[in-house]
Structure 1
């Protein structure tokens, strides 16, 4: 899949995994549209080739508007879903039962939001001209190793990411007739803004649990893998763990 003279969408594109991916795609020649919440867009970086679009992925109309904007400049070929939240709560805690509204919100953002972007973007991609191999585009979703090794307090988060894993193959099969591939990356522990508030000692402890390399992953490594998936036309319907062989303990 060639990126020159094409458009790409990255959700959660103002920080962390999304920001690194948006920059990597822009560096390869794509016109990138980084979707994120208004506050994140205002505080986000300025990167050549990246247009920031205030978008709530749980709002279908906002997603449709953003996809239309991206599709108006060049053929939409790549979509990377990085938007997500990860609050922690036990099913039964000191304050009682897990907040059911919080559970629903995590599913709404991480799973339904990703599906909304995937579906609306797939419609736009399907209307583009295919290349000589019948390809029209690739959609990359973000799961987590928590989909497989969910820890104490991750019931909501693991549920949402497990849904992304389960979505991967049927989405790839559904969209195959349009020349659209669907892949998922399941990162381990990545050095993102969500870890910025914890101590160096805590980060070192997390890194020590990774077999090799014994460090936290970098957002740029997620972006590198996303580019490899875009470039590798035979990757489809699969989940790739990017975790240094880490398998999470119960807590």
Structure 2
């Protein structure tokens, strides 16, 4: 099965890397697993051995037949032809895993973040640069919208770096594993408000937080929230963004 460029597919081929990923996922300790984008089933074979319920979400119609054939003797494996961006987690908690295609990674992570209460943990293969962004700390250039949104709900851990040669076709970038563990008690913030504030704050990264948010916050309000109006957006902490969102939600 050839990978489709339009879907950003790169299939994992390196068995030693696959073994290390399985070690990180610990499938035998999961209650129910969801694999997003199983592709040709390289990871899925190992996940299915754990005999816990395994749901496969595959967008590419051409892969559904081969996957169905491959796992038809495994009643605990169910396969859905579905766009992962439409995935609604019902009961949970799920262990969610996947080698995510580059072109849907960011929106999919935000979509799953909104359902973090139904996730036990998540392990994803992403572009290394994206993992660095998600896990970066305030004050670092890479810190941005995705860092704030995901760190609001998850503790984020960088893991194994995977070279391009582990995939077929060989991508032009390094990949990296990330582990996301939902925070037991995330700050109770209206997510739409947080998304809005973070988007506005980072709209022009070189400007101060005062300039980017002046339509919604006075200097006095910023100072009352312990924020220096002269700060750049990437220097605020996740907690400060949560406070901005709480204040915005209370007044709009």
Give the TM-score taking structure 2 as reference length.
Answer: 0.42
| Structure showing greater Rg | 2
Highest RCO, 1 vs 2 (Cα 8 Å, sep ≥ 6): 1
Give the TM-score taking structure 1 as reference length.
Answer: 0.42
